[in-house]
Structure 1
């Protein structure tokens, strides 16, 4: 496991401990590596009105956006499993989260590394966002904004 992957997966596992997941019973944590080495984390946050729930990656990206650092995203780590269950099965970002990650990737001109793991063990998978979301739509596809 690379140093960045280990740091991100460990941070994502820690973040998953703060998940609010009473409806799915599935805790997910995400950790985002910025260009200066800072790591920003998030955990899934569910709601009784299911459509209002937020994935861990979305929570973490919103925090990065609030820091004004969307263009500084370098890599992402994701970890999750059913609450109370240790699992080595890798968790991958949903389609919505892939699109949200793509926003930062295009703003920063990077193809993000996405490290996916379960809640335990050393097993993980690394993908590039371009393979998880080929032919992505993003900021570069929009017409220039008028002044």
Structure 2
């Protein structure tokens, strides 16, 4: 990916963050998922008073893509921070989101960009954020 493509992903994640529904935590997260075919799917976190039905931005983006028949991805940008402020620190995906990404993405190749409001980011692979991850390959030996 080029630097401009990465910057675009971070910008789209920042835009998606504005749609977050966070009446309980006030912590808004946006994600922009780049499919291998070039399409970008965005997502935001959507809270629920019962908490467990809450959905993270990353999973929202993945589920939107999969529901439209897309299952191959190359990168995701994630930004998060308190409502009404620019994100100043990095927000990494939770464990559940890492596991969902593991279902569809190559751990060694899939890039995760953790961004901030100033449009800077740090890059990781899925393998770096989920070492020894569990995938469908683990079930092949059963």
TM-score, normalised by the number of residues in structure 2: 0.92
* Cα distance, 1:4 vs structure 2: 2.2
- Tell me which residue corresponds to 1:51: 52
Correspondence for 1:65: 66
Unaligned runs of 5+ in 2: none
Counterparts of 1:136-147 in structure 2, within 5 Å, are 136-143=133-140
For each residue in 1:40-75, what CA deviation from the matched residue of structure 2 results, as whole angstroms up to 9, or x when unmatched? Answer: 0000000000111000001111011101211x2110
Task: Check the 8 A contact 2:11/2:119 in 1, yes or no.
Answer: no
SS for the counterpart of 2:52 is helix
Residue 52 of structure 1 aligns to a residue in which SS? coil
Q: Spell out the pairing of 1:20-31 with structure 2 (5 A cutoff).
A: 20-31=21-32
**1:134 — aligned with what?**
131
CA shift, 1:26, in A, is 0.4
Q: By percentage of residues, which structure has more helix? A: 1
- Find the residue that maps to 1:121 and give its secondary structure: coil
Contact 1:88 1:123 in 2 (8 A): no
Aligned length: 141
Structure 1 position 2, deviation (Å): 1.2
Shift of the 92–44 alpha-carbon distance from structure 1 to 2, 3 Å rule, reads same
Which of 101, 104, 109 lines up with 1:111 in the alignment? Answer: 109
Aligned pair partner of 1:121 in 107, 118, 122? 118
- Confirm or deny that 1:75 pairs with 2:75: yes
Is the 8 Å Cα contact of residues 77 and 114 (structure 1) preserved in structure 2?
yes
How big is the alpha-carbon RMSD for the aligned residues of Structure 1 and Structure 2?
1.8
Cα distance in 2 between the residues matched to 1:143 and 1:67: 27
